[in-house]
Amino acid sequence: MSKKFFKKILNSKLFKRIYETPTPRWIVLFIDILIVSLFSLATIYVTSRYATAFPSPLDTTLVKVVVIIGVYFIASMAVGSYKYVIRLSVIEDIYKLALMVGLSSIVLAVIEFIIRQINTFPYFTYWNLFVIGTTSFTAMVAVRLTVKTIYSILTSVNVKRTPVIMLGSAINSFMFANALKAESHGRFDPVALLSLDDHKTETDINGIPIYRFNPDDVAEIFERHNCSTLLFLSTQIDNMREGIADILLQNNIHLLMLNQVEEFDTTNSQSIDLSSHVKNIQVEDLLGRAPIKNHNPKIMKLIADEVVMITGAAGSIGSEIVRQVASFSAKEIVLIDQAETPMHDLQLELNETYPDLKFHLFIGDVTNRQRMEKAFAEYHPKYVFHAAAYKHVPMMENNPAEAALTNIFGTKNIADLSVKYGVQKFVMISTDKAVNPTNVMGATKRIAEIYVQSLFFKLSKDSKKASTQFITTRFGNVLGSNGSVIPLFRKQIEKGGPVTVTHKDIIRYFMTIPEACSLVLEAGCMGEGGEIYIFDMGKPVKIYDLACRMITLAGLKVGKDIEIVETGLRPGEKLFEELLNNKEQTIATNHSKIMISKVPIYKFDNILNSINAIRAAIEENDNHLVVLEMKHLVPEYKSQNSRWQELDDVVEHESQYNNQYY
């Protein structure tokens, strides 16, 4: 009965209001000064009363106390020792208190020294100052720890928390551990710290045990604390990427990440809800490496107050280029795409995010020359980013004519119009599948690369300086793009499996959409024309391992809860993608993540003849001939797992295109 009654009182609205609301700063300051006042008065009065040499009357004692209070008050304001939320107070707060007391004692000691130079008798006495400082400091710490203990007891009533072990033993991790413990109705109870520092010697901090990370006994540590969850700060994601996450996942340890660390402030008097910033870690968080970030002022200078055109603007890459170009204060942005609904969604986003931005939605297909010319004639862009393309390998393998029409002739239309209307820079988005292509999609992108590059050198040769700088950027798969493997795996896991991979040994490069687009802008800024830029994609990822990670992150076991099934390579698919042709070499740039690929330069007239042959095959609706002409133009194009493999032998015995390079 008494326990039930106690809980009822603790759960009352009045009591909740008392312990859930952080103590106002002025009250903390008042309590600190009150403590100093009491100990100062007691110390000086007692020592003065029993002093035989220089007894002080009460009024003199009160004056001394007022001086001490004044010094401590000023020191508190200067140091800010009263600003910390008491229920979160531990190391940093105690450090501030020690600093405040030490500073006050030094100032008072200086005052005492000056007085002694004037008078022959002591005023405070150094011993009194020492006693006042130590007793006040002890009392202030005791008050804070008492409040913290009481608060911890109150918040534990009727609150079921998930035990977690926090990664790291530094002050940051420890502060967050205490903050999570102190949350009213918090979801997590940090029971230990897991240190990555091999030289760490502490066994605990303020009662929280610290363990060194060791792959061999990490599971035993979690079992000891009846815990199956690791919580780490978002700033520690690089440590997780370096293999730690895989070790933990293999031991069936659930991973949580605390986001938005920069918002945490123990001096904040408002309610702190750290639990709302904790999220389940996604496989995207663990892939590759730390994101590439560009802060190049040249990009801003290049784009600011200019008209920029972006084709494929509603796609994964195109829409991110739109966002980044908008952030660089473009004068106008022309968005070209044929997808009505995604364009509408992008319009709503831009209206909300960039209300002052002037942008034009231009619905149209890049293969429609007349429609594209209308856009160029109306808006006269200075910079063009060409992202419009078909990209799905199996689909394009079955529709080579349509793939060629969009990827080759759509690119040709935009490139030719860029020259006609005096565009300064044309930046084309290509793919790693264009290197030693094994499928129709990769071959069409390689031909598009060849066309814009040969066009640039043709114009440069004819006029000594091309009016339009044509630049190509190549990169691999982007995380979160439409139709990518990660959303597919996620859906399959949600349905209970199986998760399908085409081959157990297939590997791919991955990059986030924002960093890929950031590098596109960077390459476009540094390019002078004719370059094919390739990006550092980090380490390749084995798709089978990716599937295993995603299943484990979902709290399931591979082979027990979810099966992984091999379905066989799809038409045109290869085990690994390359960013460079075997014959190519790379040239370093002033950006560590961007290189220039040295490729053979094709003769423009030969390319034009070949492209015209492909166009004729499209008009005849002859897919067989379309692929054959592409293989003539790109002799390294060797089909894999495709019905077009039969054409490879035919091309090897023909030599009419031998003299196509400069």
Give the model confidence (pLDDT) of 25-45 as tens digits.
777 778 877 887 787 777 777
Question: Looking at the DSSP assignment, which residues form a beta bridge with residue 500?
Answer: 565
Tokens of 86: 């008491």
pLDDT at 310 (0 to 100): 96
The most confident of 120-134, 319-333, 641-655, by mean pLDDT: 319-333
What is the Cα 255 distance to its own chain's centre? 17
CA angle 214, 220, 224 (to 5 degrees): 130
Mean pLDDT of 295-301: 74
Name the pLDDT band for 197 (thresholds 50, 70, 90).
confident
Q: Is the pLDDT of residue 243 over 70?
A: yes
How far apart CA 164 and CA 427 sit, in angstroms, is: 48
Q: Is the pLDDT of residue 483 over 90?
A: no
Name the pLDDT band for 337 (thresholds 50, 70, 90).
very high
How far apart CA 281 and CA 244 sit, in angstroms, is: 13
Q: Is the pLDDT of residue 371 over 70?
A: yes
pLDDT at 230 (0 to 100): 85
How far apart CA 43 and CA 105 sit, in angstroms, is: 14
Question: Looking at the DSSP assignment, which residues form a beta bridge with residue 250?
Answer: none
User: At a CB cut-off of 8 Å and minimum separation 6, what does 655 contact?
Assistant: none
Name the pLDDT band for 181 (thresholds 50, 70, 90).
low
pLDDT at 265 (0 to 100): 47
The dihedrals phi and psi of 496, each to the nearest 5 degrees, come to: 95, 10
Strands 585-588 and 188-195 come out as unpaired
pLDDT at 134 (0 to 100): 84
Mean pLDDT is lowest, of 67-81, 126-140, 187-201, 572-586, for 572-586
Mean pLDDT of 358-381: 95
pLDDT at 294 (0 to 100): 57
* pLDDT greater at residue 153 or residue 632: 632
Amino acid at site 173: S
Q: Is the pLDDT of residue 20 over 80?
A: no
pLDDT at 611 (0 to 100): 94
Percentage with pLDDT > 70 across the chain = 77
CATH superfamily, region 297-647: NAD(P)-binding Rossmann-like Domain (3.40.50.720)
Token match 């014959």: residue? Answer: 583
Q: Is the pLDDT of residue 446 over 90?
A: yes
Q: Is the pLDDT of residue 317 over 80?
A: yes
CB of 331 within 8 A of CB of 357? no
Tokens of 598: 């040295």
In whole angstroms, how far apart are CA 638 and each of 252, 447, 502, 532, 628?
A: 43, 14, 20, 22, 11
Q: Is the pLDDT of residue 659 over 60?
A: no
pLDDT at 22 (0 to 100): 57
Could you tell me the pTM of the whole model? 0.67
Q: Is the pLDDT of residue 292 over 90?
A: no
Percentage with pLDDT > 90 across the chain = 24
CB of 428 within 8 A of CB of 388? no
The per-residue pLDDT for range 84-117, each reduced to its tens digit, is 655 555 566 777 777 888 888 888 888 877 777 7
* pLDDT greater at residue 164 or residue 279: 164
Q: Which fold has domain 159-281?
A: Rossmann fold (3.40.50)
How far apart CA 89 and CA 78 sit, in angstroms, is: 19
Name the pLDDT band for 657 (thresholds 50, 70, 90).
very low
Q: Is the pLDDT of residue 165 over 60?
A: yes
pLDDT at 266 (0 to 100): 46
Name the pLDDT band for 290 (thresholds 50, 70, 90).
low
pLDDT at 72 (0 to 100): 80
Q: Is the pLDDT of residue 270 over 60?
A: no
Tokens of 447: 């031909």
How far apart CA 335 and CA 5 sit, in angstroms, is: 66
* pLDDT greater at residue 510 or residue 397: 397
pLDDT at 383 (0 to 100): 94
Within 10 angstroms of residue 31's Cβ, the number of other Cβ atoms is 18
Helix (H, G, I), strand (E, B) or coil at 56: coil
* pLDDT greater at residue 387 or residue 285: 387
Task: Output the furthest CA–CA distance in the chain (Å, rounded).
Answer: 119
Name the pLDDT band for 268 (thresholds 50, 70, 90).
very low
Amino acid at site 519: L
Q: Is the pLDDT of residue 614 over 90?
A: yes
Mean pLDDT of 479-498: 79
Within 10 angstroms of residue 220's Cβ, the number of other Cβ atoms is 11
Mean pLDDT of 464-482: 79
The dihedrals phi and psi of 386, each to the nearest 5 degrees, come to: -100, 100
The per-residue pLDDT of the chain, averaged, comes to 79
The DSSP symbol for 574 reads: -
* pLDDT greater at residue 69 or residue 51: 69
* pLDDT greater at residue 482 or residue 264: 482
Show the DSSP H helices in 209-296 as ranges: 218-224, 237-239, 245-250, 283-286
Amino acid at site 395: M
pLDDT at 656 (0 to 100): 46
Q: Is the pLDDT of residue 582 over 70?
A: no
Token match 């909300």: residue? Answer: 352
pLDDT at 171 (0 to 100): 65
Name the pLDDT band for 399 (thresholds 50, 70, 90).
very high
How far apart CA 65 and CA 68 sit, in angstroms, is: 5
pLDDT at 262 (0 to 100): 47
Domain locations in the chain as residue ranges: 2-153, 159-281, 297-647
Question: 159-281 with 297-647: one CATH topology?
Answer: yes
CB of 476 within 8 A of CB of 509? yes
**Residue 216 burial by Cβ neighbours in a 10 Å radius (0-12, 13-18, 19+):** exposed
Mean pLDDT of 323-336: 90
Handedness of CA 135, 136, 137, 143 (dihedral sign): positive
* pLDDT greater at residue 424 or residue 189: 424
Q: Is the pLDDT of residue 583 over 70?
A: no
The string of DSSP codes covering 373-402 is HHHHHHH--SEEEE------HHHHHH-HHH
The per-residue pLDDT for range 402-440, each reduced to its tens digit, is 999 999 999 999 999 999 999 999 999 998 888 889 999
pLDDT at 390 (0 to 100): 93
pLDDT at 264 (0 to 100): 47
CB of 559 within 8 A of CB of 565? no
Handedness of CA 54, 60, 64, 65 (dihedral sign): positive
Q: Is the pLDDT of residue 627 over 90?
A: yes
